[in-house]
Structure 1
Amino acid sequence: MKSAEVRELAVGEIEKKLRDTRDELLQMHLRKETGQVERPHLIRELRRDIARIETIHREKLRAK
């Protein structure tokens, strides 16, 4: 997910996106442990997406 896409979202939508992305990362980690992960590079991308979303979320909260 691009930063510009996240910046367009409202704070509530960002929080929902953050929860969903964290859940997806958890599922990827579980699949990795059982050997069922098809695209392991997505784990790194999800971690970076989470960091990007958290950063923008903090920026929006401080701007208020």
Structure 2
Amino acid sequence: MKFLVSLFTLLFISILFAHAQPPPPPGEGVPIDGGATLLIASGVAYGIKKFRDYTLKDDK
């Protein structure tokens, strides 16, 4: 029981020291590169595959 109380106390106190990152300066956007591009490309490829599978299933 003492362990849980001390653990919760430590967790609640650690919130006081947590700080968020400052916002970016005005005019700077979030770069979309690498990961986002790959996710979009894989989503398009998956959609094309599902569409082809759907149209081929109708032909049989």
**What TM-score bracket applies, with the shorter chain setting the length?**
0.3 to 0.5
| Structure possessing the higher radius of gyration over alpha carbons | 2
Structure with the higher fraction of residues in helix conformation: 1
Q: Which has the higher contact order (CA 8 A, sep 6+)?
A: 1
- Normalised by the length of structure 1, the TM-score is 0.40
- Normalised by the length of structure 2, the TM-score is 0.43
